Amino acid sequence: MSDFDFDLFVIGGGSGGVRAGRMAASLGKRVAVAEERYMGGTCVNVGCVPKKLFSYAAHFHEDFENAAGFGWTSQPPSFDWATLVRNKDQEIARLNGIYQRLLDNAGATVFHQHAELRGPHTVALGERTISAERILVATGGWPYVPSFPGSEHAVTSNELFSLETLPARVVVVGGGYIAVEFAGIFNGLGCQTIQLYRGPLFLRGFDDDARHFLAQEVQKKGVDLRFSVDVQSIQKSDSGYIVTTTSGEEIGCDLVVYATGRKPLTDRLGLEHCALDLDRDGAIRVNSDYQTSVPSIYAIGDVTNRVNLTPVALAEGMALVWHLFRDHERPVDYEFIPSAVFSQPNLATVGYTEAEAQARFGTVSVFSSTFTPLKHTLSGSAEKTLMKLIVDVATDRVVGAHMVGPDAGETIQGLAIAMKAGATKAMFDSTIGIHPTSAEEWVTMREPVR
């Protein structure tokens, strides 16, 4: 019997921490998980899940409009914000319970309180200290708002899911996927929406063609995009807030949303008691086995600020458990990880951007198609879809796929499997398409555009 209270103590009850804790406990290890806020972490409570639900809600207004072209007529529908929030809360509560039961059924001990490091093998829970042979930090990230005059008036994604009322006028600040998604959500729910971003084009890091195409589609839907502009100050007014930009413009609104990035959540973690190495952004440095500079302490997920996606944290949690307790290496492959932006319309991607592929492989062929989906030939919508493939000329392997259009994530997930398996463009070309679908375009693009 070990001299420690637990074999593994997990700080953080998000997706990665729960997965690691549950799997280690199922192997007979003595496991504890501490979570002070909500089981399931950011994704379940104030991230992926409620955001996708809100994205569905925002898209319904287009569905009502599009139905007219197919012969459906009805009274203009009304939207009730309180109903959406209430139903969302019920679903999140259900998911919280599932995460709790997963740990309970596996035999893990759960502490619903704040945990801090006190040493290489010690964790503090209030006045109580607990020892563990190994400690796993899986605390995730937290929204970041820069300091400027009036910054205290801004809200982040954490607060958006529980607003008491739906604002009429919204200013969203930021150019990442969270900003783009919420701009689309508020616009779709009927809010007058302005998105400000200090750079020349949003979604830096995504494929340039997809970024430009999405910007056009977002503007078509009514979001007022303003690039190369930043916020100078926010002032409270009698009717809401006044946002003053760096160009001197004053914008009146009811809500200012800051989605300008997230930082690894290491506040109050007790880092002063352990010499954990951090990078310049405050993320915990780990090696290929997720081990920190303190050999008994490990870290996974967003707190390491590598690939900040929920499925990646889950995979890292599994890989760590196999490494520590099964003496079997099942490393995470970080190449060809698919991802999606639940904008209006969606953007999804897997593999390399065109610029990355050129740098990595040299000569590449680019296949691209822009078209009006069959649905919109009757709906009257001006929305178009973009599909793009990038092929390494030397091997004919498809190394990048990018899409902007309805349910792009659903389509890209299937392509990710093929690309992980090393599918070539010849294999795409020899695959029979499903007609009529937008997805068949992936296997009918014959001539490269460049």
CA-CA distance, 147 to 294, in Å (whole number)?
A: 33
Q: Which residues contact 340 (CB under 8 A, 6 or more apart)?
A: 346, 347, 348, 349, 408, 409, 412
Catalytic residue among 61, 153, 212, 435: 435
CA-CA distance, 57 to 55, in Å (whole number)?
A: 5
Q: Please say whether the beta carbons of 293 and 275 come within 8 A.
A: yes
Q: Please say whether the beta carbons of 102 and 22 come within 8 A.
A: yes
Angle (CA) 83-260-35 rounded to 5° is 65
**What strands lie across the sheet with 192-197, from one edge to the other?**
224-227, 192-197, 169-173, 255-258
Strands (E), 300-346: 339-341
CA-CA distance, 104 to 100, in Å (whole number)?
A: 6
Q: Please say whether the beta carbons of 60 and 358 come within 8 A.
A: no
The answer to whether 59 is a known catalytic residue is: no
Which residues are the active-site residues?
Answer: 435
